[in-house]
Amino acid sequence: MPVAAVMSAAARRLAEGRAIVNPSSTATRTATPCLGVYLAAKSGVETLTRVAAKEFGPRRIRVNAVAPGLIDSPMFRDGKTEEDLRRFTAQSPPGPARGER
């Protein structure tokens, strides 16, 4: 379901003082080649989030976006060479996404 539809439905049902959290991505800051459509969608989520925060603010409904870093997943690996994967991993902070515990 599109983020805008979910936010709209949530805002109608949420009590005052509640929150909406939307998924985004830190990749919106890097302009990574081959991710144009994905990044455009996530940038749209961030803009909708900022607008919704202003619209729902008078009802004390907070609206935020969470932008996780690199997540090693089939979508992330798709179309990338081993060299690409090493480069992206080297740019990421240490932690579980990099296979570290």
Helix axes 36-56, 3-13, angle to 10 degrees: 20
Candidates 73, 81, 87, 79; CA nearest to 25 is 73
Rounded to 5°, angle at Cα 78 from 91 and 73: 65
Structure tokens at 84: 């690409």
Residues annotated as catalytic (active site), given as ranges: 38
Q: For residues 53 and 61, give the distance between their C-alpha atoms in angstroms, rounded to a whole number.
A: 7
